[in-house]
């Protein structure tokens, strides 16, 4: 079971390979390496599981490996500098390729290191979480956090190719896997009703990690995201749809200090809140809200925010993004299952009321 998808970005187009056992497939890597130096960047969690295997696949290139500590808190300029130092110590030149073996943090760090080491070297993504396979594989967002805000430093930089080996998801814990499913569900909700229905029919197979279902889900997610990114590579418009559930979700992540909620879990709740608010505005009916809630629950995801967050705190935290990034609070809401829109025309009080109401249901 192997599949291939192309992300169409003109001269920056690249393929995504999706399937079982791809970590051992030299042909997924070799055409993109051009016979030069190879550096694998990974972390201490992933290295014991998959580094040896990838090193073996790439052994003709005598790869250098850099193993970083694991965690979002290491996604910063200091770790980036650690990578630069190691690259310079190993005398890595401009013709090298960096291979990111890990989840979103490793992908973002490695991609940004590749974008900026000697003004740009090539890189390949080997995402090892479901979230990274369906999200950071497509779109070229790379970067690090700043003490004052997440993802505030970075670049749009596309990989040479993405190798998504679905076998590696077997070592992912169930909670992480479900968190990845939240983003998969998102693609259906924002623009692909057919995929949303397919997910309802195949959720059990996905939870059982059946290869055919996982390959389809990853491929369709990447295809949906690629279609949006191809239209709006630098996120000036339509690409904002991909933030469905994220404004509510970021508020939850911030309020809980990024240490008890996974990103996908917070986004799941955020998508449910977006659905509820869309209904309050009269855009969708109760059955659409139920569709969203049931699909999230079937993926073993939460749909209510933690009760320690007050309405006031929610509103304040959502306003932070706004203050830093733009003048107005924009939300992604639903006009139907499979049809999202970005809007800033809604009543602040109605929003507060929805958050308050959901609070009472907990």
Neighbours of 165 (CB within 10 A): 24
141 binds a second copy (CB under 8 A): yes
Helical packing angle, 263-280 and 174-191, nearest 10°: 30
Owner of token pair 């990114």:
229
Burial (Cβ within 10 Å: 0-12, 13-18, ≥19) of residue 76: middle
121 binds a second copy (CB under 8 A): no
Alpha-carbon dihedral 295, 297, 302, 304, rounded to 10 degrees: 80
Respond yes or no: is residue 246 known to be catalytic: yes
Respond yes or no: is residue 225 known to be catalytic: yes
Neighbours of 215 (CB within 10 A): 18
Respond yes or no: is residue 12 known to be catalytic: no
230 binds a second copy (CB under 8 A): no
216 binds a second copy (CB under 8 A): no
CA dist., res. 249 & res. 265, Å (int): 8
84 binds a second copy (CB under 8 A): yes
Name which of residues 195 to 214 contact a second copy (CB under 8 A).
none
Q: Which long-range contacts (CB under 8 A, 24 or more apart) does 3-12 make?
A: 3/215, 3/219, 5/219, 5/222, 5/223, 5/226, 6/226, 7/138, 7/158, 7/222, 7/226, 7/229, 7/230, 8/226, 8/230, 9/140, 9/158, 9/229, 9/230, 9/233, 12/140, 12/158
Among 9, 49, 153, 342, binds a second copy (CB under 8 A): 153
Among 35, 148, 208, 328, binds a second copy (CB under 8 A): 148
Q: Which is nearer to a second copy, 105 or 199 (CB)?
A: 105
Among 147, 201, 208, 360, binds a second copy (CB under 8 A): 147
Respond yes or no: is residue 183 known to be catalytic: yes
CA angle 348, 350, 356 (to 5 degrees): 105
77 binds a second copy (CB under 8 A): yes
Q: Which is nearer to a second copy, 51 or 87 (CB)?
A: 87
Q: Which is nearer to a second copy, 234 or 360 (CB)?
A: 234
Neighbours of 273 (CB within 10 A): 26
Helical (H) or strand (E) element with 190? helix 174-191
CB 218, min distance to a second copy, A: 25
Respond yes or no: is residue 72 known to be catalytic: no
328 binds a second copy (CB under 8 A): no
237 binds a second copy (CB under 8 A): no
Respond yes or no: is residue 146 known to be catalytic: no
Binding mask 16-55 for a second copy (x = CB under 8 A): ----------------------------------------
93 binds a second copy (CB under 8 A): yes
Please list the active-site residues.
Answer: 119, 141, 183, 225, 235, 239, 243, 246, 250, 263
Which residues bind to a second copy, rule: CB under 8 A? 77, 80-81, 84-85, 88-89, 91, 93-94, 112, 115-120, 141, 143, 146-149, 151-156, 234-235, 323-326
């Amino acid at each position: 079971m192997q599949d291939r998808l192309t992300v169409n970005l003109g001269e920056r187009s690249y393929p995504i390979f999706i399937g079982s056992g791809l970590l051992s497939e030299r042909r997924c890597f070799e055409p993109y390496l051009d016979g030069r130096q190879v550096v694998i960047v990974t972390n201490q969690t992933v290295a014991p599981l998959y580094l040896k295997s990838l090193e073996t696949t790439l052994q003709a290139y005598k790869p250098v490996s850099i193993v970083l500590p694991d965690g979002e808190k290491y996604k910063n300029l200091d770790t980036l500098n650690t990578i630069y130092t190691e690259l310079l110590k190993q005398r890595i030149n401009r013709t090298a390729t960096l291979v990111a073996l890990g989840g979103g943090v490793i992908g973002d760090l490695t991609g940004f290191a590749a974008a900026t080491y000697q003004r740009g070297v090539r890189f390949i993504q080997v995402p090892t979480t479901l979230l990274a396979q369906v999200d950071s594989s497509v779109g070229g967002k790379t970067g690090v956090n700043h003490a004052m805000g997440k993802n505030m430093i970075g670049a749009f930089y596309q990989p040479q190719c993405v190798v998504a080996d679905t076998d590696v998801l077997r070592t992912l814990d169930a909670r992480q896997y479900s968190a990845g499913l939240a983003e998969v569900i998102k693609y259906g909700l924002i623009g692909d009703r057919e995929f949303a229905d397919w997910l309802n029919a195949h959720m059990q197979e996905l939870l059982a990690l059946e290869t055919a279902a996982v390959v389809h889900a990853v491929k369709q997610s990447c295809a949906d995201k690629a279609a949006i990114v191809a239209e709006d590579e630098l996120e000036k418009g339509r690409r904002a749809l991909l933030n469905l559930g994220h404004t509510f979700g970021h508020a939850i992540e911030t309020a809980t200090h990024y240490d008890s909620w996974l990103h996908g879990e917070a986004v799941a709740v955020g998508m449910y809140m977006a659905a509820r608010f869309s209904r309050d505005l009269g855009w969708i009916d109760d059955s659409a809200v139920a569709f969203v809630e049931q699909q999230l629950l079937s993926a073993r995801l939460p749909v209510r925010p933690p009760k320690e967050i007050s309405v006031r705190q929610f509103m304040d935290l959502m306003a932070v993004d706004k203050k830093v990034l733009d003048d107005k609070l924009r939300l992604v809401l639903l006009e139907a299952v499979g049809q999202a829109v970005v809007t800033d025309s809604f009543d602040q009080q109605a929003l507060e009321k929805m958050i308050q109401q959901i609070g009472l249901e907990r």
